[in-house]
Structure 1
Amino acid sequence: MSRDEEFGAYVAGRRPHLYRSAWLLCGDPHRAEDLVQEALTKVYVAWPRISRAGSVDAYVRRMIVNGNIDESRRPWRRERLTSQPPEVVATPPPGEEADELWTALRALPAGQRRIVVLRHYWGLSVEETAHDLEVIVGTVKSQTSAALGALRRLLVPAGTSATPTNDSPGEAR
């Protein structure tokens, strides 16, 4: 199989997952498209090396996360004071429903959102997440705890318990 065929097969199989990851990180379908496209461009250039190493997903994931961080640091992305607030609302991409989880996830600070996406959408370990974000393991643990606490507060209806109970027989303690 040629380089182009291998790369094409990878993109065809993984692009929806990559796009959703980028969208969860940045909250903007257009920026998510750009993040994925930029990452895939870099992957194509490095394809022989990263495909041999078997680390394509890790490489792409890191490119998307770093691209999102870099994008937020660019001066032209910073907020500007105006007399009227912009009427821009982050919406889910086409085919995705706006739901309570989406709303709650968007309410998290960007750093916590990145950690939640890497830990719970990508399924990375604490150590892998720390490596990808270039932070210490303790930061991942504390930010995960804070993010999940915030999500619980946002998602659990008032007056109900956020922790499972052991009222049913056969449930483990």
Structure 2
Amino acid sequence: MDRHDGFREFVLVRQQALMRTAYLLTGDAHLAEDLLQSVLAKVVGKWGKLARDGNPEAYIRKSLVNQYTSWRRRPRRELPSAEVPQGGVSHDDATLDRIVLRQALARLGPKQRAVIVLRFWEDMTEAQAAEVLGCSIGNVKSQTHRALARLREIAPELAHLLSDPEIEEVIR
């Protein structure tokens, strides 16, 4: 039995979900691919133990967040534009909301961005997010509260998205 048995199958099945998390963290498709590839390259050497211990996906998600946070600490060489491209293409409101939200997310700190991605895109509970982030549930709650407040400050035009009763319940 090869120590990498099951790794290829796992990646084939879960790659899209992991890529979505990486993309939401980085805000850039190419950086997301780099992030996921670097994490998977590290994980493949530990695959036998991870597969035996039970939940490799949780470990990989935590690794994505940690690697992303580590990358954010380094000085950036490239700076994404904060402006929405202007052109002759018309967009519906939902498309514009997504563009503005992605830009606003990019302006959050790495921990706040990670908590928003895990809680609202990955639909994790506070306890699950705390486990992935390696912090307390109280820290997840406070980071979520601060991140949502910051998003409201950065992008007031998204108030209709950030005033959902479910979100209000989360930050109480």
The reply to whether residue 78 of structure 1 matches residue 75 of structure 2 is yes
Alignment of 1:28-107 (within 5 A): 28-73=28-73, 77-78=74-75, 88-89=80-81, 99-107=99-107
Contact 2:82–2:103 under 8 Å retained in 1: no
Partners in 1 of 2:52 and 2:10 — Cα distance? 13
TM-score, scaled to structure 2: 0.70
Compute the displacement of 1:124 (Å): 2.5
Q: Specify the alignment match of 1:156 in structure 2.
A: 159
Amino acid at match of 2:18: L
Q: Secondary structure at the match of 2:124?
A: coil
How far did residue 103 of structure 1 move?
Answer: 2.8
CA distance in 1, matches of 2:120, 2:5: 31
Answer with 30-39 or 119-128: which moved more. 119-128
- SS where residue 124 of structure 1 aligns? coil
Q: State the SS of the aligned residue for 2:102.
A: helix
3-state SS of 1:156 partner? helix
Deviating beyond 6 angstroms after TM superposition, the runs of 4 or more aligned structure 1 residues are: none
- CA RMSD in angstroms, aligned pairs only: 3.1
* Percent identity (aligned): 38
Q: 47-56 or 2-11, which moves further after superposition?
A: 2-11
Question: Do the aligned partners of 2:68 and 2:110 also contact (CA within 8 Å) in 1?
Answer: no
Structure 1 unaligned segments of length 5 or more: list them. 81-85, 92-96, 165-173
Superposed CA offset, 1:7-41 (max 9, x none) = 11111111121112112112232322121112112
List gaps (5 residues or longer) in structure 2: 84-94, 166-172
TM-score (norm 1): 0.69
Deviation of the 1:58 alpha carbon: 0.7
Map 1:98-117 onto structure 2 (within 5 A): 99-117=99-117
